[in-house]
Chain A
Amino acid sequence: EAGVVQSPRYKIIEKKQPVAFWCNPISGHNTLYWYRQNLGQGPELLIRYENEEAVDDSQLPKDRFSAERLKGVDSTLKIQPAELGDSAVYLCASSLRGASSGNTIYFGEGSWLTVV
């Protein structure tokens, strides 16, 4: 069974440019997460979807970040315009009906963003 798939794997952009990341969760997983991980830190939740509904986006910097999950499957995370401080790994993850009842959250390999 395929895991969480993300693209692009690596991206280098100049500041003020836009960037978008794509995620395809594990088949059947209705909960999708976007996390950001800075070097030497643990992942921090940006947004969580239950199907196509964003149920927790309290830590998403809405002035420049946006996300969507049309049809409740694939998701995209966009940054516009990017700033130097956005350099990080953007991890997509998915699980069955959220993390309730011990359901494991599975991570993709991440999209490594460098803003120069």
Chain B
Amino acid sequence: GQNIDQPTEMTATEGAIVQINCTYQTSGFNGLFWYQQHAGEAPTFLSYNVLDGLEEKGRFSSFLSRSKGYSYLLLKELQMKDSASYLCAVRDRRNTDKLIFGTGTRLQVFP
């Protein structure tokens, strides 16, 4: 079976740091994506992890532990425009063209 879990909602303050966790259980694994989706807009690519460790890209970082079936997205120096849904998606090893999405974490940043 395939299961991806993320918190439904999170809140944070402008300028702070927030960590959005994602745990997954899949029959096969071949990479994990994080997407950002503002209300009423398309998901946009943030990061991709296939090996264990931390990938840093500006204010955003993504971490992966394959043995634990765990990833997190770290957002630093939060800005109001970071208020959005953050989608964790796992690529199936047996069907490498298929992304399985979690339900997304809705992040609200307050001043």
Contacts and interface: CB of A to CB of B under 8 A. Distances in A.
The answer to whether A binds B is yes
Interface residues of A, number: 25
B42 A107 contact: yes
A42 B104 contact: yes
Chain B contact patch, size range: 20 to 34
Contacts of A55: 97
B99 interface: yes
Contacts of A45: 98-100
Contacts of B65: none
A72 interface: no
Contacts of A105: 33, 45, 99
B60 interface: no
B101 A43 contact: yes
A27 interface: no
A110 B102 contact: no
Given A42-B89, A42-B104, A102-B31, A56 B44 contact: no
